[in-house]
């Protein structure tokens, strides 16, 4: 052994600390694409934002109807509040009503929302980017930041772990 235990320990801690910092930097979400003011928020900035609380629920897959597990109540920021901070584009009158939002996870998993769904139906009142579960902070290992659409019939598809960001696209026929 070249290194004694005491010499190796600080080095190992430094490495762990650096990895932790890198992962903490990873815990940001970006709102990009067709927004007026694209932005990036850290998990801590999310925690400082006004938030809502969802009820506990059963996580169930759409494809298989498989019951996955019970999930305690999430607390998080409404997706539509974040979208309003980034600002909808309306270059031509009515463009904003044709905007879709793609929620993309770090593993490439992606789901969509429409402007009407978020701003003109009750679903939007219950789509949140969660940073807490059962009154405990969610860590990156728990899947934070995690997007969840609480009004969905089968919740698993739009229960997006490790959300990387929201991409806005004004779509045309
Ligand atoms: N980031 C990410 N989130 C995801 C998925 C995924 O592949 N990636 N799959 C979804 C689907 S279809 C299901 S059924 C559940 C699976 O949850 P589990 O991995 O905790 O069992 O996660 C949902 N959230
Ligand atoms: Mo699923």
Within a domain: residue 22? no
Ligand 1, atom nearest to 109 Cα: 8
- DSSP letter assigned to residue 163: E
Overall average pLDDT of the 157-173 stretch:
97
Within a domain: residue 140? yes
Q: What is the DSSP string of 20-51?
A: HHHHHHH-EEEEEESBSS-EEEEHHHHHHS--
Segments forming the whole domain that contains residue 64: 27-170
Residue 107: helix, strand or coil by DSSP?
coil
Within a domain: residue 19? no
Q: How many residues does the chain have?
A: 173
Position 2 scores a pLDDT of: 37
CB 96 within 8 A of CB 72: no
Q: How many domains does the chain have?
A: 1
Position 22 scores a pLDDT of: 60
Residue 161 CB less than 6 A away from ligand 1: yes
Within a domain: residue 21? no
Q: How far is the CA of 63 from the centre of ligand 2 (A)?
A: 5
Give the predicted TM-score (pTM) of the model: 0.89
| In the chain, beta strands by DSSP E | 28-33, 39-42, 52-53, 57-60, 67-71, 74-78, 99-105, 110-114, 127-133, 136-137, 146-149, 159-160, 163-170
Position 11 scores a pLDDT of: 60
Position 18 scores a pLDDT of: 67
Tens-digit pLDDT profile for residues 80-138: 999 999 999 999 999 999 999 999 999 999 999 999 999 999 999 999 999 999 999 99
Residue 19 CB less than 6 A away from ligand 1: no
Within a domain: residue 15? no
Within a domain: residue 17? no
Ligand 1, atom nearest to 61 Cα: 14
Residue 54 has pLDDT above 60, yes or no: yes
Sign of CA dihedral 166, 125, 109, 112: negative
Within a domain: residue 75? yes
Within a domain: residue 142? yes
Position 6 scores a pLDDT of: 42
Write the CB contacts of 2 (distance below 8 Å, at least 6 apart in sequence). none
Q: Of 66, 74, 161, 163, which is best to mutate to test ligand 1, by the most ligand atoms within 8 angstroms of its C-beta?
A: 161
Tens-digit pLDDT profile for residues 5-50: 444 445 667 777 766 666 655 589 999 999 999 999 999 999 999 9
CATH at 56 = 3.90.420.10
Alpha-carbon gap, residue 136 to 118, rounded angstroms: 27
- DSSP letter assigned to residue 64: T
Q: 144 pLDDT band (50/70/90 cuts)? A: very high
């Amino acid at each position: 052994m070249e290194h004694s235990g005491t010499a190796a320990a600080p080095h190992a801690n430094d490495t762990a600390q650096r990895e932790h910092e890198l992962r903490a930097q990873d815990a940001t979400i970006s709102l990009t694409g067709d927004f007026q003011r694209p932005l990036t928020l850290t998990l801590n900035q999310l925690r400082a934002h006004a938030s809502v609380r969802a009820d506990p629920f059963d996580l169930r897959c759409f494809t298989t109807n498989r019951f996955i597990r019970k999930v305690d109540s999430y607390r998080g920021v409404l997706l539509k509040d974040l979208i309003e901070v980034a600002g909808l584009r309306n270059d031509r009158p009515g463009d904003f009503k044709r905007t879709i939002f793609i929620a993309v996870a770090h593993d490439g998993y992606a789901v969509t929302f429409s402007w009407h769904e978020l701003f003109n139906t009750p679903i939007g009142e219950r789509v949140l980017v969660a940073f807490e579960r059962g009154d405990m902070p969610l860590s990156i290992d728990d899947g934070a930041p995690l997007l969840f659409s609480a009004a969905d019939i089968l919740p698993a598809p739009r229960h997006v772990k490790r959300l990387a960001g929201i991409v806005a696209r004004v779509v045309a026929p």
